Structure 1
């Protein structure tokens, strides 16, 4: 199946602009999403960590069999981030940062919160991103300097001006997190339960971030994290008029140990709460 999909989905032309590249990336990500949707339905049973990892890898491989040849064809000189859990800065030049099954564990448990993402990073700045939700049939896109969109419709963050009127969210960066990070997450949730209207906690991060970009929720924060689960949403939120920083309000980079995306009206208040 993988060989057939690869042959059928490689585009015949190379894009000449970032806008054209974004359109081609959308096609690749949607095709990968359709393949994962065919695998979705029943809970995938696993009794050991080894069985779980094997099932996660099978989903990743299904999507990557489509994404890697197509995106490599579009940008032959671009590097490729092999591990979606990697963090930190990238070497100079262009890199594809891809999460073939963002929220993979949800997919295996027949939960609907999962997506396929692809982001082109140029000299450590995201240039374009595609986040496709196959079950909802929604595709979120952002192009640096050209805005964020949902299926072609412009996105805008909320105009909420008070944290106590806000829906905020956080996520778990990875299952085997450092003990101090886990304690920090717990303290931050407690602080937000006092200061915000509603606190949501779930994986994956990207689905929270598309909600911030769309103005459905007002802020998202996370401690630790990887490029693949933060860069797509960071570009979407920025292009939708939101603010990105670390949890204390300082400039965010992939090397930062925390992340905050929020509507401008509550960003400072959210950072203050998280800094306590």
Structure 2
């Protein structure tokens, strides 16, 4: 092996070790934030009008960010922070934290169990590290690019189903106030999948469905959205588990994609055939 190859190998090993150490720090920070969010949870909803709902959502976000933002930025000096968790599209070059302090916030404030804390590192617009923590079950999903996806340290694998007519699939809206055109596409896609798949789930948030795709419990998930914070964690987990992630036309997915599709490998072509006509 040449000196140049030896140097490149050493650099890759050092970068790999740094990312492993970073994942450990991020996991600890996200779990601490999750403990705080769990303290704020009550199965007694008791909410009234929209103003109360919005107030509670912002209060959860602020509380969690108060214990999560500083540790993540300190763990990776020079990294950036994306302030708007509902934003989409490409980011400037460099390393960016995409965080949802209460993924499924609407469920949390209504006393339901499907919520989590997520943190994903994006490097030059590619997700390279993610942690998803579910405080109520104490489950932690992690992934590093090229290293696989894990639940509490156990390797994740996608479903081995080969036919869409046996598949459990899901979708949902990305945020309140989507356009009427997006709602039309969601409705048309649900109808199409009800005809072609076994069972269709329509729920929020996206991450709580995508972890099931990564773990082989669900077989496909799609969404007509480019909201980064709802897709990046799950996208990396699905890809690293061995699943397939594209847009609904079957093209490679990235932060500029208009929509999103994650499937078990053998179901991808069928899912694209069902969803691609819905434009």
Asked if these proteins are the same fold (TM beyond 0.5), I'd say: yes
Distance 1:184 1:142 in 2: 31
Whether 1:243 aligns to 2:275 is: no
Partner of 1:222: 223
Distance 1:166 1:42, change over 3 A: closer
Partner of 2:263: 262
- Structure 1 residues 27-54: Cα deviation after superposition (integer angstroms, max 9, x where no partner): 0000000000011114444433222211
Partner SS for 1:211: helix
Partner SS for 1:158: coil
Contact 2:107–2:115 (Cα < 8 Å) also in 1:
yes
Partner of 1:56: 57
Partner of 2:9: none
Shift of 1:136: 1.0
Distance 1:238 1:193 in 2: 25
Partner SS for 1:131: strand
Give the 5 Å matches for 1:125-144. 125-144=126-145
Partner of 2:203: 202
Distance 1:111 1:47 in 2: 16
Partner SS for 1:17: helix
Contact 2:221–2:263 (Cα < 8 Å) also in 1:
yes
Distance 2:45 2:85 in 1: 21
Q: CA RMSD in A?
A: 1.2
Shift of 1:16: 6.3
Distance 1:48 1:107 in 2: 16
Partner of 1:68: 69
Unaligned runs of 5+ in 1: 1-14
Distance 2:44 2:75 in 1: 35
- Structure 1 residues 160-207: Cα deviation after superposition (integer angstroms, max 9, x where no partner): 110001100101111111000000000000000000011011000001
Distance 1:266 1:132 in 2: 28
Partner SS for 1:148: strand
